[in-house]
Chain A
């Protein structure tokens, strides 16, 4: 009996010391932040832009038809000498407790990324217990981060959600952009053998119109958000943008490409055959000979032929083999182009340094210090691509072949 009461007593006492997540907060007392933007103003202070979700306007029409009237998000900005100060300043404008746990987008303006570098910003985000480090980072290309945050979007009513989903979809279907989280960026920043790549987002159209509810009442939005290019960093600072094939080359070497399409010329007609990669595997290996590193990239792609605009006999294995060879060359060229561009920028965004470090840790120690500026720009990179055609879609030969025979 005595022991049981003792046990109960100890349990109750432990309540006082093991308070854990103490503070009780009702859902309606929270201002749920969906996205955060970081800019700098003329005085050199940080401008933090918060995108708050208006639950009633998002959930829509649930309670007495009041939903869907106003904008789905509200935006407040605050300034401060550092991120935290800007954060606390926001409380002068927002009636509710700022709640970061559902924020999943961090937008950093190109200006800040170029001039300040992003390493000064991320610590505040990593340190806060409420903020998830799985938040996606994007760079506001050419505009302020606030413009991206304020822009209203259709289909996905929360802009942060739209940006995230766009990134996910395009990374999977097209492979020119990648989704990078705070966590990943920090680990890349820490690494000596790799530089950071972050997708850029651009607001197309008038930023003032983008803020208005009318924007999303048009079938074609006045201001839209779209993924545009990859921002290349060097030592935490943005130095260049990669676009189109160059950008895809980077994603490809990072082995993040899942599906994409590759066009090759055929019988002098440009981009005559379209090939869809449905699965691929890229292996990067390093070799050090006489203190000189060399990188070998091995790509093995499998896919279907999805479009043919010249009469070509796809039933002939030799033709297929030729197309495969052509595809291999095309992909190889693409990868080499983006490697060359990166080498010009002296930024090892592919993590070749990390590969060398993993395979030859001793040799790495010697070349570590001048890897990006000396070794990487002159690095010898072999690219081997094997492309396989698995299917040709629902048709074998195109109707074009039949037309030619009949003519």
Chain B
């Protein structure tokens, strides 16, 4: 049935495409496929194609003696590094002695390439499509009258955000730098961490209109070749107008779309990317966003933070437990409160039951409605807080604090106990290290509240079981989402709820890096000196040697 629908839809699309393509040749016929040998024609073609856009700079130059040869330098303002265009391209072309002699146009290209232009990448081009592609991505084009070829000089540059601290994944200990919007910078930042030729990068341009640079990065010896192939296959499938953020790609290549849980990990920290590459994962860089995708992702990964590995293991383990506890609070906090106060009052200590009963005495709504009101109020505040212009932010927090904290209680709409529950849940939902999982927990929380309000703890447990079944059914590039817990892999359980000492990480995750599993040498565990006596003797010798009197 599925394929039947697909087929039908595709034919429709194809029809549209054909219509489109029958339209397009009209605009295409404005210029031929290859570069003309007269300069003015070429410049006219560019003018027409770009609709006389004002940010395209045409700079005419004359080189050679008897006859002078007309040339033109074309680039897009703001996209190029204007200093290198001026100093290493225009200036040498005007002043270089090699161009002041009598030359024939056919030789100009080689002379410019070999003697004049002091830039890293210069190559000839005769195809308009390629020419426009590189012009629009910030390269400079040199046209020479009488030559049906042009030169592309790589002058990409322009203003960009500099490397700054991460604001989404903050850590106390560890590198502070975060990715920027520039893909070259981002790739270089990872290369700076992993100085190894085995760090492989494959690039492609995605998006019909945007032609966004997308790079796939992995460590050749470690990453599973099948998964690399699969990533390629899925990326190649993408046929969209534009890729504006890595989120587009995430949604297009994930295994399962009917889930609130993220099946690809994203981060803006180079050290997180490096760590995941070393575990055999594959990184997808997208130009224009600091967020890099990592796959295959597993559920427990969203509770790990890079800092876990920088701290000592006992502390990191305690923090892991705390995070999972926090996740459960943010998932079932209000649901448990609803279940207890509407179904299982006998479970509350008498004193507390009396206090809650007294608080709820004046509240006209059932606990579920009360919880729903508070939760929605909180969601409104949160959303407003995120989207508001910063200048208005303090207003929101004051109004929010008054509305939630005080007025709602005094008006008798909600009870103080409910405010506590909702506040703790709200704080808990922000304490999860991964925002992606926190959002999905926030959404599922409402389902839990409904099930708790209809069936009490029984419904709550049932919903938890269904959630577990759902989580176990998820895959990320074929890797079970709940691994290494389900399926249970004893060797890797040390990086789930507990974080074992760094010297005990003997193997890489075997479902992700399928071959080349050995990660560290033997006897990595540090030990005190085997024989203290020898140590003391050494110290004595040192004492004698040094002028200790």
Contacts and interface: CB of A to CB of B under 8 A. Distances in A.
Interface stretch (B76-84, B94-102, B345-353): B345-353
B442 interface: no
A15 B346 contact: no
B242 interface: no
Given A20-B458, A130-B346, A27 B356 contact: yes
A56 B415 CA distance: 13
B111 interface: no
A353 B357 CA distance: 48
B296 to A, nearest CB: 22
Contact of A11 (B355, B367, B466): B466
A83 interface: no
Contacts of A4: 473
Interface in A106-151: 130, 132
B410 A64 contact: yes
Interface size class of A (residues with CB under 8 A): 20 to 34
B42 interface: no
A55 B473 contact: no
Contacts of B465: 11
B456 A21 contact: yes
Contacts of B444: none
A390 interface: no
A64 B406 CA distance: 12
B350 A26 contact: no
B363 A28 contact: yes
Given A18-B458, A62-B359, A63-B362, A24 B343 contact: yes
Interface string B209-238: 000000000000000000000000000000
A32 B353 contact: yes
A26 B358 contact: no
Contact of A53 (B354, B366, B469): B354
Nearest to B466: A11
B262 to A, nearest CB: 21
Contacts, number: 91
Contacts of B359: 59, 62-63
Interface stretch (A97-105, A188-196, A197-205): A97-105
Interface in A252-273: none
Interface in B404-419: 409-410, 412, 416
A326 interface: no
B37 interface: no
B462 interface: yes
A30 interface: yes
A101 B345 contact: yes
Nearest to A34: B350
A326 B362 CA distance: 64
B281 interface: no
A102 B355 contact: no
Interface in B457-499: 458-459, 462, 465-466, 469, 473
Contact of A62 (B358, B366, B462): B358
Given A62-B416, A102-B350, A24 B357 contact: no
A377 interface: no
Interface in B380-403: none
B358 A56 contact: yes
Interface centre among A32, A34, A130 (most CB of B within 10 A): A32
B350 A104 contact: yes
B474 to A, nearest CB: 12
B357 A27 contact: yes
Interface string A36-79: 00000000000000000101101100111001000000000000
Nearest to B409: A63
B458 A28 contact: no
Interface centre among A15, A59, A67, A104 (most CB of B within 10 A): A59
Contacts of A28: 357, 360-361, 363
A365 to B, nearest CB: 42
Nearest to B356: A27
Given A15-B462, A18-B458, A102-B353, A26 B360 contact: yes
Nearest to A23: B343
Given A21-B456, A26-B366, A27-B360, A55 B355 contact: yes
A59 B355 contact: yes
B503 interface: no
A318 interface: no
Q: Which 5 A-B pairs give the minimum distances between C-beta atoms?
A: A101-B346, A59-B358, A55-B358, A55-B357, A27-B357
Interface centre among B354, B356, B366 (most CB of A within 10 A): B354
B367 A56 contact: no
B455 interface: yes
B341 interface: yes
A26 B353 CA distance: 11
Contacts of A399: none
Contacts of B412: 63
B147 to A, nearest CB: 62
A120 B99 CA distance: 121
B543 interface: no
A386 B298 CA distance: 67
B343 A25 contact: yes
B419 to A, nearest CB: 13
Contacts of A34: 350
A123 B362 CA distance: 37
15 contacts: A4-B473, A7-B469, A15-B462, A21-B344, A27-B342, A27-B360, A30-B357, A32-B353, A53-B357, A58-B358, A59-B354, A59-B355, A62-B355, A62-B358, A67-B358
Nearest to A20: B458
A8 B355 CA distance: 39
B342 A21 contact: no
A27 B353 contact: yes
A130 B465 CA distance: 28
A15 B462 CA distance: 9
Contacts of B354: 32, 53, 55, 58-59, 158
Contacts of A58: 354, 358
A99 B345 contact: yes
A129 to B, nearest CB: 10
Given A59-B359, A62-B359, A102-B353, 10 more contacts: A15-B462, A21-B344, A27-B341, A27-B360, A27-B367, A28-B363, A32-B353, A55-B354, A59-B357, A101-B345
B358 A102 contact: no
B342 A26 contact: yes
Contacts of A55: 354-355, 357-358, 361
A7 to B, nearest CB: 7
A7 B354 CA distance: 41
B204 to A, nearest CB: 33
A11 B453 CA distance: 18
B346 A102 contact: yes
B398 to A, nearest CB: 23
Given A21-B344, A56-B361, A58-B358, A26 B473 contact: no
A102 B465 CA distance: 31
Contact of B462 (A11, A99, A104): A11
A64 B356 CA distance: 15
B469 A25 contact: no
Contacts of A63: 358-359, 361-362, 409, 412
A26 B364 CA distance: 11
Interface centre among B361, B465, B466 (most CB of A within 10 A): B361
A272 B236 CA distance: 100
B341 A26 contact: yes
Contacts of A101: 345-346
Nearest to A102: B350
Interface string A363-390: 0000000000000000000000000000
A270 B15 CA distance: 116
B342 A32 contact: no
A28 B410 CA distance: 18
A55 to B, nearest CB: 4
Given A4-B473, A27-B345, A20 B456 contact: yes
Contacts of B473: 4
Contacts of B367: 26-27
B456 A24 contact: yes
